[in-house]
Homo-oligomer: A and B are copies of this chain.
């Protein structure tokens, strides 16, 4: 432990899990919004959390994403140490753009920096998955991996953790967050446990196409591969006007997109920023018309994950 570094501030980005056809295996980091966490190392064991926002998240460490992640890290750390965390969330919990993953990833990256980077990124993902479990009941890594690595990541396997960063061309992202609540656990429960083999084959053709499209920088291939025949048909029922939002986005020039994570946010890829803004206007007019409060972002894929400043 360095005496001259007992406090660190990190910015942890929002993330989009699944990327349409890549259920539970693909995700990417957004340049905006980001949560801010200030972490201090302490000689008092345990984790103490102060929320500097108005979301009213629990502060008991075992019930808090930050707390559970850091307790997992402390369980593998020698010595009588603990952490004090000030959390200022910009990513609304339950929005479907990786709010819990940002808390978990920001906490473990920041704390690890205070510990002289003694853990590697696979360890950090393991710890942060304990935070995700508090939020959703499932130790999934499809938001955590892009939050920590940045860019677009493949989670080939989460046990053991096997993360593959993927190259990608410039892409603009429109995010639409209808202000309704979809619990990740509910969104998981409505999925069928069995799927048709022929649908699975079509899905993995699309996933393979999407990975190849990102790596080749082939926009047309990315666009053709953004099709989900397994999860979207079920989950989209939970999201108001989903098919109209998607259709209006495509009409406005979007390459494609779909549900962000388990929703309710929807994301759309565009090749140009001007198109992404047109998409934002198109979807805003749909939710304005039906009188549903919403929030939008027009941003890019962030090449950086959690940043220490």
Contact = CB atoms under 8 A, between A and B. Distances in A.
A156 B206 CA distance: 6
Contact of A221 (B164, B200, B202, B224): B164
A290 to B, nearest CB: 32
A52 interface: no
A55 interface: no
Interface string A164-206: 1010000000000000000000000001111111101111111
A195 B205 contact: no
Interface residues on A, range: 35 or more
A287 interface: no
B211 A208 contact: yes
B194 A156 contact: no
Contacts of A57: none
A211 B154 CA distance: 11
A53 interface: no
Contacts of A156: 205-206, 208-209, 221, 224-225
Contacts of A193: 196-198
Contacts of A196: 193-195
A156 to B, nearest CB: 4
A162 interface: yes
User: How many copies of the chain does the oligomer comprise?
Assistant: 2
A162 B197 CA distance: 20
A7 interface: no
Nearest to A162: B224
Interface stretch (A8-16, A19-27, A105-113, A242-250): A19-27
A24 B209 CA distance: 13
A208 B22 CA distance: 9
Contacts of A191: 197
A209 B22 contact: no
A22 B155 CA distance: 17
A1 to B, nearest CB: 35
B205 A25 contact: yes
A221 to B, nearest CB: 6
A251 to B, nearest CB: 22
A73 interface: no
A23 B162 CA distance: 22
Contacts of A207: 204, 207-208
A77 interface: no
A230 interface: yes
A197 B199 CA distance: 11
A200 B155 contact: no
A166 to B, nearest CB: 6
A215 interface: yes
A212 interface: yes
